[in-house]
A = this chain, B = another copy of it.
Amino acid sequence: MTDAQNKPCIICVAITGSLPTKANNPAVPISIEEQLESTHEAFEAGASIVHAHVRNPDQTPTSDPDKFARLKEGLEKHCPGMIIQFSTGGRSGAGKARGGMLPLAPDMASLSVGSNNFPTRVYENPPDLIDWLAGEMRTYGVKPEVEAFDLSHIFQAVAMWRDGRIPDTPYIQFVMGVKNAMPVDKPAFDFYVETVRRLVPGGEWCAAGIGAGQLTVNEWSVAAGGHART
């Protein structure tokens, strides 16, 4: 049923994320220079996609296009051929600021297509903002990675693909283990995979587990023929 044994696994490295600081882990790369060094190590070790957030000097997340521009320039020089994916997630900015870096035309960008709860708040992705972000991605030739925090987000990605808001076969990432959203659950994971196979034949997908679930979800993903996000 799966071609897990034969096909290369894409490893997507999330070098920084939006939340951890040096107080949580001194190795978290914060400055562009630290991010380039850390990405280069992962690239040498075989990672082929870098999922990037940028930070302010005080370590808080930002969507500042200048910072993304400097990161992209450095990555193109130091990690030639690596696929660059920028985050448009809601922890780094609000409203259209979340997509202010898309004119830099990275290879990919993350795209949330629905709303859900996070540990202490609502992760708000209003329909018109989603459509605007998807439109910017089409304009600048950026391939979305759909972040599926819940089952309906897979259906929404399919609906957007069918009506052209997502031009090519959607690439979907399942996110599990966020408190108050979808937990790390094997039958749900299997149903996610089944749903993508049913609705997006030949579609590629990846999966990420948050915190303690990270390795578990990576193992499920690779075994089922998906890709892995660190």
A interface residues with partner B (beta carbon < 8 Å): 114-117, 119-128, 149-152, 155-156, 159, 180-183, 185, 187-188, 191, 194-195, 198
Contact = CB atoms under 8 A, between A and B. Distances in A.
Given A117-B127, A122-B122, 7 more contacts: A114-B117, A115-B117, A115-B123, A117-B156, A122-B125, A150-B150, A187-B198
Given A151-B150, A183-B155, A191-B191, A117 B122 contact: no
Contact of A152 (B119, B122, B181, B187): B181
A155 B182 contact: yes
A124 B122 contact: yes
Nearest to A156: B180
A180 to B, nearest CB: 5
7 contacts: A114-B181, A115-B124, A119-B127, A120-B127, A122-B126, A151-B182, A187-B191
Contact of A122 (B115, B119, B181, B191): B115
A116 to B, nearest CB: 6
Given A114-B180, A150-B116, A185 B125 contact: no
A152 B155 contact: no
